[in-house]
Structure 1
Amino acid sequence: MTFVVASQPGRARGGPDDQRVLASASSAALHIAGGTLADGPAGRVGLEVEAHCFDLNDPNRRPGWSELNEVIASVGSLPGGSAVTIEPGGAVELSGPPAVGPIPAITGLITDRNVLQSVFADAGLGLVLLGADPLRRPYRVNPGPRYRAMEQFFVASRTAGAGAAMMTSTASIQINLDAGPRDGWADRVRLAHALGPTMIAIAANSPLLAGRFTGWQSTRQRVWGQLDSARCGPVLGANGDDPCTDWARYALKAPVMLVHSPDAVAVTEHVPFADWADGLVLLGDRRPTTADLDYHLTTLFPPVRPRRWLEIRYLDSISDALWPAVAFLLVTLLDDPALAELAAEAVEPVATAWDLAARVGLADTRLYTAATRCVAMVADRVPAELSESMQRLLQNVETGRCPADDFADQAIQRGIDGAVLAMLRGAG
């Protein structure tokens, strides 16, 4: 999940049109649909990896905001060009620049992650790749007004627990891909969604949250599923034939979370953006502008989010041994035309089984079958530098195990503290 907003409200598009007052929900829909996806060739890949930050000597301590910023300030420019940011709960996100193809994107992020880990280790801190914080209770360290307002929104919408856990206790691997040529958008977006449950089962890596087993292999996905489906559910419409219209409809139906007056202020009543745009409700004693609409889009967190490119957000954060293979797998299934149709057929029986995948992972026969078919399609296409990672992934999938099974075993054997410490020290 990426909460960082690169531009200030009213500057999302960088021109005088940013403050244009929207005349209606119809004009808002046109604004959204026009910027949903960018027509062009596919091929570029951007990767983001989030890691929970722990004290190497006391894994129950959550490093503070100032402490984390001091460490990041000492990192300097990374060789692969990645940016480093801090999530609301103190997780550290490494965001690589777009690269042509998965291999440059993966190898660049590996290089930068090694440098980042070394700098954090020198500061007595470690970065753990898990989909949810298994040890500490949700707690926000980022003092920004956006996140305070988000907390207030979640309290008002009766999702305070899930909202706090989502913001401060979950971590993912995000894959960003070109939208591709316009005439292929519908199939590409449908496949990105259809692959979701199978990929969640393959990468599930969060069996614990805040010191307790949850009964879910991907507690991260469970947490997101507990939030409002109008904000965090899949975007696809009835048939998925028009992704731009689907996104516009989704965004206008979603309730407004924050309004700038000028700082972020939580909207504590259920107000779909369409109602604000049509003037049925005034927020901040005014009608919305295009800048308000652009900002509203940053508060929507579906598993596949269109931002002119496709932001794929449904993977748990997983170990350095596995995430390169998982990233290569998903990118190849979407970007290789020879495999896309085969992949769609393989995952069709479980294309909407989001909760089942999060709960049981590969223990479900249909998910297991889809996963083994998908990995088999790609395994012999992997380059030498990723062969070890792919072999490990292939072995996991063939034996019906996801990363959550390995971490659960460690937590039972060593205790949760001991399992986290072992990951921090590279001992298991």
Structure 2
Amino acid sequence: MAFTITSEVGVAQAELPSAHSAAVHIGGGCLADGPVGQVGLEIEAHCYDPADPWRRPGWDELTDIIAGVPALPGGSNVTVEPGGAVELSGPPLSGPVAAINAMTADRAVLRTAFAQAGLGLALLGVDPLRPARRVNPGPRYRAMEQFFAASGTAAAGAAMMTSTASVQVNLDAGPRDGWADRVRLAHALGPTMIAIAANSPLLGGEFTGWRSTRQRVWGQLDSARCGPVLGASGDDPASDWARYALRAPVMLVNGAETVPVTDWVPFADWADGRVLLGGRRPTQADLDYHLTTLFPPVRPRRWLEIRYLDSVPEYVWPAVVFTLVTLLDDPAAADIAAGATEPVATAWDAAARAGLADRRLYAAANRCVQAAAERAPQELREPMQQLMRSVAEGRCPADDFADRAVTYGIAPAVAQLARGEL
């Protein structure tokens, strides 16, 4: 992760006396008061063998390559997602340009290491070709599979874990007196940014009819865990998050073993003792772990973890990141974004399905990208101009990949991306 949390071991192991005490802990630690400015980036890329794009590289193959990656100049950590996607998680840096430059340098080193091993890393919101399959043997992911199967969302859960990839942006929560407006805007920007960055028109070798199939997959999971946190008014983000977390069902109990919870047990019921899991009430450590199993599009973790962007191509992700950060961190740009996105602030499904073909999202996207482009430094002018042109034409990366897939076929198109051919 780009930011870190610490807790006292003794406190973490004490059982919580009630849901109210859990709510106090959640609300008290969800956002950190302070200035804005730090930016942390996380970018996931699907790993392919360009010579056989249907093949999914295995766990040992991936970890052996990663073990040989030299020190990354930007300080990112490298991890493997459940389906074998490779993630770079950068440290918090001052401003979007520093974060973008560091991530660009780290991605170049990582791509070279994988290319030397005969593999490629493709930036797509979902794997358009291979069936869902887990390669990461971690007990958390094995237990998550069992949870999704028991909850009736096995297919969507498997696709989410093993077939999706994103660009995640982590930002400071900002001054306390601005939290409500900042969190509201982070949510309101969601549909517009999804429409701009949509990059997943295929899944399982077929066109889905959605420009962001990744967002569609997340929408098929239970909204208590994956829906937006924002309450009716959005005036108290800390209370909204506490309420959301306590209503969400417990997914896993993490102890000597990670055990899935196959019944619907809201965390509040466990904390109040109405249901005992593992024969006991939860500890603070259980609560902190529960929070890591909640996947809303904007997740408060003392900072704001913005999770709704598809993984997008090399030529456009810096511009997408700069746009999102600028619209939230620059006060004048934030005012413009708030006005532009108000008509589409809840249009999550329309954004994922139609993208910029929706006229309201098209209008909001053009206004938002223009506001960001006006504030772009010289080194980002070219990618920002390219993003402005694409948005003005009503196109997103999904349209480009769809054209490539139709022209060359899905497997050849994937192989081209894995080889770095734009």
Counterpart of 1:328 in structure 2 is: 322
Match of 1:277 in 2: 271
Alpha-carbon shift at residue 15 of structure 1 (Å): 2.6
Residue 207 of structure 1: aligned partner: 201
Equivalences for residues 376-395 of structure 1 within 5 A = 376-395=370-389
> Would the aligned equivalents of 1:261 and 1:284 in 2 still touch at CA under 8 Å?
no
Contact 1:198–1:370 (CA<8 Å) still a contact in 2?
yes
Q: 8 Å contact 1:200–1:218 — kept in the other structure?
A: yes
2:53 to 53, 59, 62: 59
**What RMSD, in angstroms, separates the aligned Cα atoms of the two structures?**
1.3
| Structure 1 residue identity aligned to 2:265 | V
How far 1:99 moved relative to its partner?
0.5
Summarize the alignment of residues 181-196 of structure 1 with structure 2, pairs less than 5 Å apart.
181-196=175-190
Amino acid aligned to 2:58: G
Residues 332 and 33 (structure 1), Cα distance of their counterparts in 2 relative to 1, 3 Å cut: same
Correspondence for 2:129 among 122, 135, 145: 135
Q: Per the alignment, in what secondary structure is the counterpart of residue 240 of structure 1?
A: coil
- Give, as a single letter, the amino acid of the residue that structure 2 aligns with 1:329: T
Residues 116-144 of structure 1: CA deviation (Å, up to 9, x unaligned)? 00000000010000000001000000111
Distance 1:295 1:272 in 2: 14
Any residues of structure 2 matched to 1:90-101 within 5 Å, and which? 90-101=84-95
Percent identical: 72
Deviation >6 Å, runs of 4+: 4-7
Matching residue's letter, 1:13: S
* Residue pairs, 1:281-360, within 5 angstroms: 281-360=275-354
**Shift in Å, 1:261:** 4.0
Which residue does 1:112 correspond to in 2? Answer: 106
What is aligned with 1:246? 240
Partner letter of residue 131 of structure 1?
Answer: G
1:146-185 equivalences in 2 (<5 Å): 146-185=140-179
User: Residue 400 of structure 2 aligns with which residue?
Assistant: 406
Looking at structure 2, the residues matched to 333 and 261 of structure 1 have their Cα atoms a distance apart, in angstroms, of 41
C-alpha deviations, 1:182-206, integer Å up to 9, x for none? 0000000000000000000000000
Which whole-Å deviations, capped at 9, do the CAs of 1:326-375 have from their partners, x for residues lacking one? 00000000000111111101000000000110001000000000000001
1:256 and 2:258 correspond? no
Q: Distance in 1 between matches of 2:247 and 2:155?
A: 23
CA distance in 2, matches of 1:218, 1:262: 38
SS in 2 for 1:131: coil
How far 1:376 moved relative to its partner? 1.0
Structure 1: give runs of 5+ residues left out of the alignment. Answer: none
Match of 1:43 in 2: 37
- Structure 2 Cα separation of the partners of residues 425 and 18 of structure 1: 46
What SS is found at the alignment partner of 1:78?
A: coil
Q: State the SS of the aligned residue for 1:305.
A: strand
Kindly provide the amino acid, as one letter, of the partner of residue 419 in structure 2: R
The C-alpha deviation readout for 1:138-161, integer Å capped at 9, x for no partner, is 000011111110000000000000
For structure 2, the residue ranges without an aligned partner over 5 or more in a row are none
SS at match of 1:422: helix
TM-score scaled by structure 2?
0.98
Question: Partner amino acid for 2:84?
Answer: G
1:416 maps to: 410
Secondary structure in structure 1 of the residue aligned to 2:171: strand
> What is the Cα deviation at residue 14 of structure 1?
3.7
Instruction: String of CA shifts for 1:256-315, please: whole Å, max 9, x gaps.
Output: 000124211000000000000000000011111100000000000000000000000000
Tell me which residue corresponds to 1:124.
118
> Does the 8 A contact of 2:54 with 2:129 survive in 1?
yes
Say which SS state the counterpart of residue 56 (structure 1) adopts.
coil
1:11-58 deviation per Cα after TM superposition (whole angstroms, max 9, x unaligned): x62431011111110000001011110000000000111000001211
Displacement of 1:401 in angstroms is: 0.4
Check conservation: 1:33, 1:247, Cα contact below 8 A: yes
Q: Is this contact kept in 1: 2:120–2:420, CA < 8 A?
A: no
Alpha-carbon contact 1:98-1:105 (below 8 Å) kept: yes
Q: Give the distance between the partners of 1:318 and 1:385, measured in 2 at CA.
A: 19
- Alpha-carbon distance change, 14 to 381 in structure 1, aligned in 2, over 3 angstroms: same
TM-score (norm 1): 0.97
Match in the other structure for 2:18:
24
Q: Helix, strand or coil for the counterpart of 2:409? A: helix
Q: Counterpart of 1:368 in 2: which secondary structure?
A: helix
Amino acid in structure 2 at the alignment position of 1:72: I
How many residues are aligned here?
A: 422
- Asked if structure 1 preserves the Cα contact closer than 8 Å seen for 2:35 and 2:174, the reply is yes
Task: Report the CA distance shift for 1:5/1:294 in structure 2 as closer, same or farther (over 3 A).
Answer: farther
